Homo-oligomer: A and B are copies of this chain.
């Protein structure tokens, strides 16, 4: 079976698999100073954003990723008021964070304004909180921003980044985590996308070590489906300056004032339960 030119294919060379979506037309294409940002219409997944040939986000299934990168950490923190998102230019994570009434300010720092430009046109539902008075969108280097952040000024940091290769690599280091640790308040939490538990176990192990090196007291990995990324199975790894991350504001989840499509209290509890091979690898 071969795929016609209408199919966009991303090869995951390290694991010898590939994922393809059937497109009908390219509706956005812009070379920014940093990367090539494209958006396609697809036959089954709605709009589909591609950056430098890598699948990023589709209309159909982004809800799982955006909800799982935000709500578990938000409902673990006792009272998240000041939140920073590193990356996240499609603005879907920003939207989820701003659903929480406790938030006074959420700053999204993505180096590439073209990603947000593409999202505002083709994923308007993800951008519906961009004009919320609590939202601040900065298009500068997030690593430098974090180094410059006032100490103990943030409750939650969400690293909604690309893969740990090229410019994204430093976001997975103990040095960057130390800058985050410094910027967080004493009960602060960081959460970061941490690739596939099946394909990138060593990276997840390294992240836990680097969080400890940076001074975080506890860390946990949550797994969830991610249909368009390698292995269809993804993770986020949280770390806290204090507290053990096992508990969350369950009553607040059950009484939350907004709807979700994936996340709920049972899903949160379930995501805290690691698959046996992951539990052993992180023991």
Contact = CB atoms under 8 A, between A and B. Distances in A.
Interface in A38-69: 42-45, 53, 60-61, 64
Interface stretch (A11-19, A112-120, A162-170): A11-19
A71 to B, nearest CB: 11
A215 interface: no
Contacts of A16: 21-22, 42-45
Contacts of A124: none
Given A225-B233, A273-B269, A9 B2 contact: yes
Given A19-B19, A231-B232, A14 B44 contact: yes
Contacts of A283: none
A271 interface: yes
B273 A261 contact: no
A179 interface: no
Contact of A232 (B22, B227, B270, B275): B227
Given A15-B45, A16-B44, A263-B276, 18 more contacts: A1-B8, A9-B18, A9-B20, A16-B22, A17-B45, A17-B227, A18-B22, A20-B20, A60-B198, A61-B231, A64-B275, A198-B225, A226-B232, A227-B231, A227-B232, A227-B233, A262-B275, A269-B273
